[in-house]
Amino acid sequence: MMRLQGIAVSPGIAIGKAVVIGQDIFSIPREYVEADAVEQEVARFREALQVAAREIENNRDLVTRELGPKSGAIFQAHLEILEDPKIREDVESLIRNRQYSSEKAASFVLRQFAEMFRRLPNPVIADRAYDVLDIERHLLRALLGQPHRSLYHLTSPAVVLARNLTPSEVANLDRKMVRGFATEVGGPTSHTAIVAQGMGIPAVVGTGPFLNEVSGGDIVIVDGDRGIVIVRPDESTLREYEEEMRAIRVFTTELEKLRDLPAETLDGTRINIYGNIEFPHEAALCLQNGAEGIGLYRTEFLYLGRNDLPSEEDHYRAYCEVVRIMGDRPVTIRTFDLGADKVPLQLGLEKEANPCLGLRSIRLALRYLPLFQTQLRAILRASVCGNVQIMFPMISTLAELRQAKLMLAEVMEDLAEGQIPFRREIPLGIMVEVPSVAVTIDRFLDEVDFISLGTNDLIQYTLAVDRTNRNVVNMYNATDPAVLRLIHHVIQEASRKGVPVSLCGQMSSHPLHTMLLIGLGLRKFSVAAHSILEIKKVCRSVTVEQCEALAKRALEMDHARDVQALLREQLIKLIPAFGRIM
């Protein structure tokens, strides 16, 4: 038995027979060209660039479709590096001045960059060496006219072991056959890791050299939770892992059976579970997991990573896509929640000393009305395609809410004048994420159709803790007594006035908090797509009475960590399988 510690990059356990793949060996048939053939060789290189670009584009589109834009962006970056003017310049100069063949020149230039990256102290950039090698392979394949390697045509399930797998190699792995993979090199921020997560394949990278000790067909365990690779495990280790896999499988199957069942407590109280999404394609996953609607559709992605502003059509298309997927289920679109340091440079906003307390979110929208109007128009236009609701983020005063509503009314008039259809009764709600609103929530409830607790900011503002600051992040606690009391107050007031209240912060996506929140009176959760089944599982395993008793005890405690310990103990007692993830 050989046990290696690497870096866990994609969760889950895989056990299977090893398929060891070596480095691609491209034999370069010709290293130099004749002096009078250099221009011809340059032309051949340019042609290969185009072929490789098309190949990468195809990869990008395929991966974006199947794994989402985050994985797709990796290949967009590859395309940009492939088309980098410097690479072209350097390769062509080697062909012209040293009479290198295209293969030799391209390989030389890209390997030189990869080597330079690898030596950099910045790990994020050092990991990019693998991307450059990926691009080198694409180019050499294009030059040599070679197809993909046969790895993609495995005939039986296997665990893939390699010195290195590039992002495109991982993206092209056969998901049905490859149970997991481990590589000798690679870092935690490698793009290979992101693609593996997107595909749901357990993976460990950076184990150090071990391939010489493995033969194809050896049994291998890849533990993508702990970053461990075990080659030729002994009897007891194998049994242990098989047992663990079985337990996970049983739990996963159990969860999957809940897809079409309601989130109903043992004593018959109906809980509603909605999904949070960031990108349109995530709506399908929410639906698949049985979400009753979208409780939070973040729209910031429309603004980020570009130098200009999204058009009304950009907004409209993104909204309609989600509405179409969700049918007549509610889709709650939150207007942009951007900070002054996040909006496109064109607005020329000044730098702020304290962005969290500055011109952000709804404040920014009310300051830059055209930006806001464009989005409101698109949401209203989308409202006739399905069940759209509109939600304003980070409201902190009544005046602000009224001003935003006025804006909405104006945009409605514009649309009506232009005879553009929209739904005038579109439900309107606010995020409750600033303590001032939580404390005076009764005043707001008369002026909105629904509210949604945004705990991420509510915690940050209540406890005065910046959760991105590593020096204080340990004070950021969803279970802090002050936070719990605010949440309790908001839910009670909303229930008293009959206004629907949901909770869409990260807090609701963690099963640890489910009982507590039910006990505090919450009946509508809006959670990340991958958490829906877990939350439903908790709902279906408890009684409201039990949850209320737990909430009562939690509200009497002095410290967040005591509350947390109590919640953990209760949850694991109820559903032991959660012990693994906590």
Residues annotated catalytic, as ranges: 191, 504
Spatial distance between the Cα atoms of 581 and 481, rounded to a whole number of angstroms: 24
Q: Does 278 help bind other proteins (rule: CB under 8 A)? A: yes
Binding other proteins (rule: CB under 8 A), the pick from 423, 467, 485, 540 is 467
Q: Does 111 help bind other proteins (rule: CB under 8 A)? A: no
Q: Does 476 help bind other proteins (rule: CB under 8 A)? A: yes
Nearer to other proteins, 476 or 525 (CB): 476
Q: Does 573 help bind other proteins (rule: CB under 8 A)? A: no
Closest distance of CB 14 from other proteins, Å? 24
Binding other proteins (rule: CB under 8 A), the pick from 29, 85, 145, 498 is 85
Q: Does 474 help bind other proteins (rule: CB under 8 A)? A: yes
Binding other proteins (rule: CB under 8 A), the pick from 7, 51, 77, 577 is 77
Closest distance of CB 46 from other proteins, Å? 18
Nearer to other proteins, 360 or 381 (CB): 360
Closest distance of CB 437 from other proteins, Å? 20
The count of chain residues that interact with other proteins, using the rule CB under 8 A, is 50
Spatial distance between the Cα atoms of 248 and 242, rounded to a whole number of angstroms: 10
Residue 310, CA atoms < 13 Å, CB-side half-sphere: 24
Binding region for other proteins (CB under 8 A) out of 110-118, 146-154, 218-226, 230-238: 110-118
Nearer to other proteins, 405 or 467 (CB): 467
Spatial distance between the Cα atoms of 151 and 240, rounded to a whole number of angstroms: 30
Nearer to other proteins, 120 or 247 (CB): 120
* 554 token code pair: 């939690």
At residue 404, what are phi and psi to the nearest 5 degrees? -65, -40
Stretch 426-465 residues interacting with other proteins (CB under 8 A): 456
Spatial distance between the Cα atoms of 298 and 519, rounded to a whole number of angstroms: 28
Question: Which x/- pattern over 292-321 shows residues binding other proteins (rule: CB under 8 A)?
Answer: ------x-x---xx-x--------------
Spatial distance between the Cα atoms of 102 and 245, rounded to a whole number of angstroms: 49
- How is residue 163 annotated by DSSP? S
Residues making up the chain, counted from first to last? 582
Spatial distance between the Cα atoms of 262 and 504, rounded to a whole number of angstroms: 19
- How is residue 83 annotated by DSSP? T
At residue 221, what are phi and psi to the nearest 5 degrees? -110, 130
Closest distance of CB 33 from other proteins, Å? 25
Stretch 504-543 residues interacting with other proteins (CB under 8 A): 506-507, 510, 512-513, 528
Question: Which x/- pattern over 319-358 shows residues binding other proteins (rule: CB under 8 A)?
Answer: --------------------x-xx--x-----x---x---
Rg (CA), the chain: 27
* 517 token code pair: 């929140």
Nearer to other proteins, 184 or 457 (CB): 457
Nearer to other proteins, 227 or 386 (CB): 227
Binding other proteins (rule: CB under 8 A), the pick from 477, 514, 546, 570 is 477
Q: How far is CA 318 from the centre of its chain?
A: 17
Q: Is 244 helix (H, G, I), strand (E, B) or coil?
A: helix
Binding other proteins (rule: CB under 8 A), the pick from 1, 120, 439, 482 is 120
Nearer to other proteins, 278 or 321 (CB): 278
Nearer to other proteins, 189 or 237 (CB): 189
- Least Cα distance to 328 among 354, 362, 294 occurs for 294
Burial of 166 (0-12, 13-18, 19+ CB in 10 A): buried
Torsion 91-93-94-96 (CA) sign: positive
Please report, for residues 227, 232, 250, 269, 402, the alpha-carbon distance to residue 236 in angstroms, rounded to integers and kept in the order given. 19, 12, 21, 45, 67
Closest distance of CB 2 from other proteins, Å? 31
Spatial distance between the Cα atoms of 395 and 489, rounded to a whole number of angstroms: 18
Scored b (16 or more CB within 10 A) or e, 328-337 reads ebbbbbbbbb
- Least Cα distance to 336 among 279, 294, 306, 375 occurs for 375
Per CB under 8 A, residues contacting other proteins are 73, 77, 80-81, 84-87, 113, 116-117, 120-122, 124-126, 128, 131-132, 189, 276, 278, 298, 300, 304-305, 307, 339, 341-342, 345, 351, 355, 456, 467-468, 473-474, 476-479, 506-507, 510, 512-513, 528, 564
